[in-house]
Chain A
Amino acid sequence: MEKFTVLNGVVAPLDRANVDTDAIIPKQFLKSIKRSGFGPNLFDAWRYHDIGEPGKDPATRSPNPDFVLNQPRYKNANILVARSNFGCGSSREHAPWALLDYGFRVVIAPSFGDIFFNNCYKNGLLPVVLQESEVDRLFHDIAAFPGFRLVVDLAQQTVTYPDSSRAYRFEIDAFRKFCLLNGLDEIGLTLRHADKIRAFEERRKAEQPWLFS
C-alpha cells in the first residue's frame, strides 16, 4: 500500500448527501478481475451523457459539462469534499480503487458508509471526517476561490488552508494511522500473531467441533 503523509492538493466539491458506491462506480465495471483502470469510469453515470460500458474508449464518450469534475477548475483535484454518508451501500472496493485511480487521495465528509470507510484505509485513500459546519465552510470557500487548495497532514491529523488562516483537526484510530503513515501490509502485520491465531483455532475446535467438520 502507498504511504500517506502530507498532501497539498486542489479540492473538488461534490455537493450531495448519501453518495452511494453504485454512483461512485457502476456495476458494469465490477466485472474486471483487476484492481486498476477504474478511474475513467468514476461517477460514470453523472460524468457522461452516454451509458458507459467496460472497454469503451473515454475519448469517444460525451462528457456532461455540468458535472463538477468536468469543470476545468477542478481538473487536477486530488481532494474530494462531499456531504454526509459518502460511500454508503455496496461493499465494492472498486469504489476506493476508482477514486484513487482517478487521482484522489483524500475524501472529506461529515460521515461515511462503514464498509467504504474501511476499504479506503486498505488502499492508502484517506477518509477524513470533519464537522458539518466545517464541511459547509469548505463548500463555501471552494466556490469562492478558484484553485482552492488544502493541506492534509496525517501525522498532525489536520486539514489546513495553505495560508494557515484555518485549520481543522480530525480523528483517526492509532492503528490505522500507523499503517497508513508507513504504508504497511496489514496481512504481514496480522501474521505476526499467527501462533495466537493457531492457539485460538485449536481451542475453538475443541469447544465447537461442528464448525470444523
Chain B
Amino acid sequence: MAPQTLYDRIWASHAVHTEDDGTTLLYIDRHLVHEVTSPQAFEGLKLAGRKVWRPGSIVATADHNTPTLDWDKGIADPTSRLQVETLDANLRDLDVKAYFPFRHRNQGIVHVIGPEQGATLPGTTVVCGDSHTSTHGAFACLAHGIGTSEVEHVMATQCLLAKKSRNMLVLVDGELPRGVTAKDMALAIIGTIGTAGGTGYAIEYAGSTVRSLSMEGRMTVCNMSIEAGARCGMVAVDDITIDYLRNRPLAPKGEQWERAVAYWRTLRSDDNAKFDRVVKLDARDIKPQVTWGTSPEMVVPGDGRVPDPERERDALKRSGIERALEYMALKPNMPMTDIRIDKVFIGSCTNSRIEDLRAAAKVVRGRRVATNVRLALVVPGSGPVKEQAEREGLDRIFRDAGFQWREPGCSMCLGMNDDKLSPGERCASTSNRNFEGRQGPGGRTHLVSPEMAAAAAIAGHFVDIRTWQSH
C-alpha cells in the first residue's frame, strides 16, 4: 500500500461510500453540540420527521451564550435564554453520551470539555457546529467545524458528505525560547502562511517542538488551524497523548483501554508519506507575537512595530493594511509596546486550560493591574479547570491583582453574552480572532498568549514578555 499520512489514514478508515467525483460519506464518531448552531438542525429533523441516528455519539453543552457572572440569577437576556432552553428541550428525551447544561459542574467550552472528559479519542472523526473544532486534532483526530445543515445531516445519518483535502505538513523543530508559547507558534505559523494559506489542506503539525508540547499546547496550535484557513490540524499520537487520556471519565478502561492504546499508537504518518506542501519553522526564531490588525495574519513580534502601508507594493494589500490601521486606530511604525490597552481577556477555547491559567498567574503574582485597564477578565474553560485552578490558589493570585475571576464559557472571545468590548475599546486577548467587531461592535482586539496578556494587564500596554522579571 502507498505510504499514508495520518490524515489519509483516518479518512480511509471512515469512508462509508464514495461518489465518482470523490465526494465521500464519512462516518462520524463524535458529534459535539452547543446551543448556537444546533436549534435549526433539530427543527429541520423534526419537520422532516427524522430521528437522531446515534444519540450516543453526542456530547453537548451550553457555552456561547452563557453568562460568566451571577449564575444563581440565570440568563437575563431573553434571546440567549431561549437558545439555551431550546438546547435543553432538544436533548431532554435523547439518550446522549453526555450533556453538561448551563450551571452543571462540568459545563464549559465545548472544545475544552471534549478532551477533558475523554470524549475526544485518537483516530476518531469529530465534528461540531463551530470552526474551532480543529482543537481536537491534537489527539490525532480528524476534527473540524461544520455548518448547521451539516449538523442536521450528521444527526440524521451519522455521516458527513465531504471531499478530501490536500495534505500539509507544518514542521517545527528546536526549543522555543523562554516566554514563547504554543500560541506564539500558532500565530507565527499564520503570519508565515497567511490566513488563507491552509485553505483546502489538512495540516499535520510535527517536529521536535510539537512533540515537546503538552496536550494543552498542542490543542492551542490545532485550535488556530482554522485561522490559517485549514479546517483541521492534527498531531500524531505519542506518550503525551496517552498519558493525558488515561483515567479520563469517558475514556476506555481496563482491557478496552489496552486495546485502544495499541491501536492509537499506530496513528501517525508513514515515514515516507507524501505531503502536498511542507512548511518549516525553526522554533528558536519565534518571538512572542501580538496582532496589530483585523486578521490573525496581521501579526508582528512583541518587539516589533506597526507596519507601514507605504512599504506595501500590492495595492489591494496596502488598502487592507490602511483599513485595518484605521479601524484599530494605530499609526504606522509605532512600537507595539507603546500600545495602551483598556481591557484584558484571558480565556477562550484557544487559551483557557489549566496550563494557560498557571502561566498567566505566574506573570501576575504579587502585582496589580494597571490603572488604565478598566477590566481584566479570567474565564476558565470549564468547571473542572476552574476547580483545579482554585485548588492551586490561582484565583486568589488573579483576584489580588485586580482581575475578575469568572464562571466558564466562551465569554469575550465572541461577546455573545455580556462580556464584550465597547466601541473603541482595545483589548489584549488570548482568543483566536481579531476580526472587526469580534469582541463587541467597534472593539479592537490584539491576540496574544496568556503570558503576554497577563503582562499587558499589569503594564497597561504590551510588553515583550522576554524582558519580564518574575517576582
- Spell out A's residues near B (CB within 8 Å): 16-18, 20, 22-23, 26-28, 30-35, 45, 51-52, 54, 83-85, 88-93, 96, 111-115, 118-119, 122-123, 173-176, 185-187, 190-191, 193-194, 196-197, 200-201, 204, 208-213
Cα separation A28 to B440 with both chains bound (whole Å):
9
Cα separation A48 to B275 with both chains bound (whole Å):
46
A201/B158 in contact, CB under 8 A = yes
B433/A89 in contact, CB under 8 A = yes
Cα separation A209 to B257 with both chains bound (whole Å):
10
Q: 7 shortest A-B CB distances, which residue pairs?
A: A210-B252, A122-B149, A119-B147, A93-B147, A91-B145, A33-B39, A174-B21
B229/A210 in contact, CB under 8 A = no
B320/A17 in contact, CB under 8 A = yes
A32/B79 in contact, CB under 8 A = yes
A30/B416 in contact, CB under 8 A = yes
Select one of B25, B39, B64, B77 contacting A197, CB under 8 A.
Answer: B25
A175/B83 in contact, CB under 8 A = no
B357 CB to nearest A CB, Å: 25
B20 at the interface (CB under 8 A from A): yes
Closest to B87 in A: A33
A210/B259 in contact, CB under 8 A = yes
Known contacts A33-B43, A113-B229, A175-B23; is-contact A91 B129 (Cβ 8 Å): yes
* Chain B residue contacts of A52, Cβ below 8 A: 441
Closest to B19 in A: A175
* Chain A residue contacts of B257, Cβ below 8 A: 210
Cα separation A84 to B43 with both chains bound (whole Å):
34
Cα separation A83 to B317 with both chains bound (whole Å):
11
* Chain A residue contacts of B48, Cβ below 8 A: 185, 187
B415 at the interface (CB under 8 A from A): yes
B27/A35 in contact, CB under 8 A = no
A85/B199 in contact, CB under 8 A = yes
B334 at the interface (CB under 8 A from A): no
A212/B146 in contact, CB under 8 A = no
* Chain A residue contacts of B124, Cβ below 8 A: 211
Closest to A30 in B: B36
B260/A208 in contact, CB under 8 A = yes
Select one of A23, A30, A84, A187 contacting B437, CB under 8 A.
Answer: A23
Closest to A132 in B: B316
B200 at the interface (CB under 8 A from A): yes
Q: Pick the most buried of B149, B263, B316: most chain A CB atoms within 10 A of its CB.
A: B149
A90/B131 in contact, CB under 8 A = yes
A190/B131 in contact, CB under 8 A = no
A22/B433 in contact, CB under 8 A = yes
B83/A22 in contact, CB under 8 A = no
Select one of A18, A91, A204 contacting B320, CB under 8 A.
Answer: A18
B12 at the interface (CB under 8 A from A): no
B130/A91 in contact, CB under 8 A = yes
